[in-house]
């Protein structure tokens, strides 16, 4: 995690040019919605006799996320990273390696397609952003339960 002043939000979104080895903070997330869709494949066809069946082993998984948050304009690195993401989201190649971490044990990372991204400047010194992403390949999701303090 960065020393970003929006770290107090805990949930940060980062991007990487090297498949996650070096994470560059984009900003803090105010609200988010993650959906993991584990579709199953229908293994019947019009010639199949009997009941409809599904095969859970031949399905696919997709992760989608909707996020809104803030970028601190006083942090040049975060601002530059956001504008790199904005450029990716509005170019021909809308795919980027993203990492989402809440500081409490939840982390998701992988290649995502940026399906929508927008920005506004509602408050001086900050950029408010909203973005929707869809997984472009397998996404690694880890959840480490916090250790209770006695």
Per-residue pLDDT of the chain (150 residues; tens, 9 = 90+): 344 444 445 788 889 888 888 888 888 888 888 888 876 665 556 665 655 555 555 556 788 999 898 888 888 888 888 888 888 888 888 888 999 888 778 888 999 999 999 888 777 888 889 999 999 988 888 888 877 777
**Domain of 110?**
5-37+60-143
pLDDT at 6: 43
Average pLDDT, the chain: 79
**How many Å apart are CA 55 and CA 40, to the nearest integer?**
6
pLDDT tens digits for range 65-89: 998 988 888 888 888 888 888 888 8
DSSP states of 97-110: EEEEE-SSSEEEEE
DSSP states of 38-89: EEEEE---TT--SS--EEEEEEEEEEEEEEEEEEETT-HHHHHHHHHHHHHH
Decide if 13 is inside a domain: yes
Decide if 46 is inside a domain: no
Decide if 55 is inside a domain: no
> What CATH code is carried by the domain that includes residue 101?
2.40.10
- The DSSP 8-state label assigned to residue 20 in this structure reads T
Decide if 133 is inside a domain: yes
Q: How many domains, in total, are found in the chain?
A: 1
Radius of gyration of the chain measured on its C-alpha atoms: 19
Decide if 92 is inside a domain: yes
Decide if 42 is inside a domain: no
pLDDT at 60: 61
The tokens for 96 are: 């980027």
Decide if 28 is inside a domain: yes
Enter the pTM of the model.
0.73
- The DSSP 8-state label assigned to residue 146 in this structure reads P
């Amino acid at each position: 995690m960065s020393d970003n002043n929006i770290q107090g939000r805990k949930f940060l979104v980062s991007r990487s040019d090297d498949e996650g080895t070096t994470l560059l903070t984009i900003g803090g997330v105010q609200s988010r919605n993650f959906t993991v869709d584990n579709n199953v494949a229908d293994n019947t066809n019009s010639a199949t006799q009997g009941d409809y069946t599904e095969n859970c082993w031949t399905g696919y998984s997709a992760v989608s996320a909707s996020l809104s948050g803030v970028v601190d304009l006083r942090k040049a690195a975060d601002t530059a990273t956001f504008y790199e993401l904005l450029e990716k989201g509005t170019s021909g190649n809308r795919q980027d390696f993203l990492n989402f971490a809440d500081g409490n044990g939840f982390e998701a990372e992988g290649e995502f397609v940026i399906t929508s991204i927008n920005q506004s400047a509602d408050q001086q010194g900050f950029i408010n952003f909203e973005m929707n992403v869809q997984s472009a390949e397998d996404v690694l999701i880890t959840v480490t339960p916090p250790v209770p303090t006695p």
